[in-house]
Amino acid sequence: MEKLLREFGPLSGSTLEMCTEGLLSGLDYLHTCNPPIIHRDIKCANLLVDLDMTVKLADFGCAKRAWRCESFTPTGSIPWMAPEVIKSESGGRAADIWSMGCSIIEMATAEPPWGLKAFDNLFAAMYIISMTEKLPRISGSIPEQARDLIRSCLQRAPERRPRAYELLEHEFLAGTRELYCDSPSSLSGRLAITW
């Protein structure tokens, strides 16, 4: 996805909707495993896209299979990390939801979630993300329903973030439900995961 955005620019309309649904479907699958799988590195560089714009989660190098992830490694994708992960407070499913919100911003703007050159260095990024009330800027060019979905993901309090299955019911994804409900494969048949 990162290369696609670099070459063709931001996603919009039904393409953004379809790619968001694919990401959420994959995340819902991971989060409903027993025990859940927490990806811990969701960003466009870790999303595969086929010719039909079906999105698949990839790169499970940071993933953990547990009800709650308490471990923290300060390497990787700081601008996509949830505040509680940077503060080493927790890193469960809600942290993936934050990263997913950041990834939707990235898909819709073709820029990192906090914008280009938002931070002087990684320590400044860690401070701003974890110790202030600032949030990634949600561009006005993103459709209002998508902005609403992103805002629900970017709640500073992890317990206020919805689960992936709840986000799949969001109004922004109504078009994808209409597309696939008549299909024999339905949404559950569009498994958006790759190992």
Helix axes 93-109, 13-31, angle to 10 degrees: 160
**CA-closest candidate to residue 53, choices 90, 11, 19, 5:** 19
DSSP 193: B
Cα dihedral sign for 158, 11, 44, 6?
negative
For residue 148, give every residue at least 6 positions away whose Cβ sits within 8 Å of its Cβ, in sequence order, or none.
170, 171, 172
Active site residues: 41
